[in-house]
Structure 1
Amino acid sequence: MEDHSVSTRSLCAVVGLSGETFLNALRAALSGSGPALLPISDQLPAPAREALLEALRPTSIRTSDGEQLCPGGLPVKAGTALVIPTSGSTGSPKGVELTARSLTTSARLSLARIDSGDRGARGDRRDLGTRRAPWLCALPVDHVSGIQVLVRCLVSETRPVFLDRFSPEAALAEAEAGCARTSLVPTQLRRLTALGRDLSAFRTILLGGSRAPAGLVEEARRLGARVICTYGMTETAGGCVYDGLPLDGVRVTTEADSGRIVLAGPTLFSGYRLDPGRTREVLGPDGYRTSDTGLVGADGRLTVHGRLDDIVISGGKNISPEPVAALLEAHPAVREAAVTGRPDPDWGQCLVAAVVPADPAKPPSEDELRTWVRERLAPWAAPRRITLLPGLPRLHGGKTDMPALTALLDRDRDRARAPDLNLDLDILERTS
């Protein structure tokens, strides 16, 4: 257990720092020689940033222009190194408090699993050099996955190479220059595979942030990349389950009645900033009660089914959107899909889907997709409405932006289908 004494330390919000400057601040936060950090995306509009600062009350704020005190700021417990704002794809913002111990333990367990896989899969002398090679940081450092790339570098005494703006060509060039390891979200990996080039320079790609579309991982592996699918969240200091198997010391169970996934171990967060009530709801003696459902097989491998708060009750049937979205993505004419529930006067709720065609010139029909789902899952799982889009709106960290997507789907409620695939491209670009 962490030693949470009454001693405190200051909390500095950081916005828009260069990669190297943030790395130095992170090093000081982990060692205790500097303040704890509250990383905030520089893409947040000013009103949203001010609301976040007001809710999480840092003692100071640091930008590229300097640092200034925040009136009314409150310190954090001495063991806290980071407070990471998160709201997932839905819900109100939270400040996840992470200790230096949980962050560095997560990094060490991650590296041990990656290195073990390298030896098992390859077993050649190049792997010694790979484990000392730079990491490519292609994710924002206000997101736990980007931060953990840097923590892994700090604990392994390697250096990161920052990719301020992701492009698949630049990422591959860095990998071929020696940055053999990186962490990506599915959108980035899809752009890499679209190059159709040899990806074997990526000795490890940790893939997380959201569910990978059907076939994406297999395609990346076919092109030579070693891809590890991770499951975790900010509350677990990033991914703590790799390819379905928990990292050493991490325990995964599911609740018998609901299937809720419960995670325990040394990488857990210590609480939500200034919100003890919310903390008590999810963090207890058995671990962290996630909002996800799943199943742990006889081999100890976790299969994630979806989110409890995403369950759609339509005509008395409980439907999880995730399997429906995965099945839609398995259709040869679909590149990616997202599914959610919307109010319906007759059924209470109905299932609606956003589909990105594999070929915009030859989009699938609604009837074709409904039949595909009806015949493979269940009649009631077929979406009542299907909207074609040029892409899914994304949050800063790569997850589907469900509020933005819901707005797009609601705009389409009175149309049988979206005839113009460029209809909402401006919204997609603003939210991705």
Structure 2
Amino acid sequence: MNLTSPFPLALGAIVGLSLLGVPIGHAMIGGSVLYLYLRGMDMGAAAEQLLNGTYSSFLLLAIPLFILAAAIMSSGSILDRLLRFCNAIVGRFPGGLAQVNVLQSVVFASMSGSALADAAGSGKLMQEMMTRGKRYTPEFAAALSAVSSVIGPILPPSIPLVLYALVSGTSIGYLFIAGVLPGLLLGAVQMVLIWWLAKRRNFPLEPKVPLRDMPRVTRQAFPALMLPVVLLGCLYSGVTTPTEAAGVAAAYALVISVLLYKLRWSDFYDCLLDSARMSVSIGMLIAGALVFNYVITSENIPASLSRVLSGLDLSPLGFLLLVNLLLLVLGAFLEGSTIILVILPVLLPTAKALGIDPVHFGVIAVLNIMIGLVTPPYGLLLFMMMKVANVPMAALLRETWPFLAVMAGALALVVAWPDFVLLLPRLAGYTG
């Protein structure tokens, strides 16, 4: 390859801008504009194709609506009530507060589609609760908060799965329901590992919540727990489109927060600002990825890669193993949305040619990317929790490895057993 040709120069520009601290979305736009200029291509025609193509999809509107619903549900007293509910359910078991950390990630899946947001919000709170009174070491609490945060984006409503639906044309409803069992499996293997570690390390037990208090604790958390039920009910009843379901979820979150959880209007204003900032950030990333995908398509890279992979004569399982390795490595270096928007469109044609179900492939891809966030040496969640807990990376990694081992086992099951992933979608009418 000629390193002075437009495509290598565009890649160099993207990497250089990223190293200078430019957001990756802006860096991709800058590198892509350079490519179009060097190739002498009509930038207006390229912009018109993009605006009339994927970027005009109504599915994109679901992302800021899900983010708004998450911001509302994470404010006020909702967080405390849901944590009390989680403690009432699993706090009595060995490693009780650690078990609560995992369960809250499952419960809060309906309140955030982002692993980084989970770690920065409820994960940070759990870090403080677990280390209070030296009940757990800071490095164990940080490692657990990091690995449990990857569960939420696999369960509905999942922003990574929305982005995958955008680039693949797959039904967002079937993707959401396909993520349920793998997400619960990930939580289950983490909780089993905690139970085993609790026996070996004598983790402290939490005071049992009396059975007479269970109805009250459940009643206080019930409206918030109903959010995913309302969302999936709208999707699978056919009453709404995915975008309209996101709007219903945001409206439901606002109504119960104001009427039942006494959300103040000043807090609601903060929710609007926070969700607007995150939506703009994701929107710029999507814009940059779509422009760069235009460049990749112009270079005919998807077709070339498909020919190379076809020449390797890989079986569907062999291809998925190769994809797993690639995505785990990339997930340790790149933000997940970038991988979904840039890398997966290149791999999708080969996956379809090999007969791999697109819903199964999407769940595998997102699961890989999420695990990549806690994969050494550069997993983003590891760096975030290292700063939150103020612990050295070496100590954090020692506590992370056992969780990575059981999560890899769960991933292997999801890859090798498509029927496990597709069970719920098929019960809902999926025929793929």
- Same fold, TM exceeding 0.5? no
Higher relative CO (CA 8 A, sep ≥ 6), structure 1 or 2?
Answer: 2
Higher strand share: 1
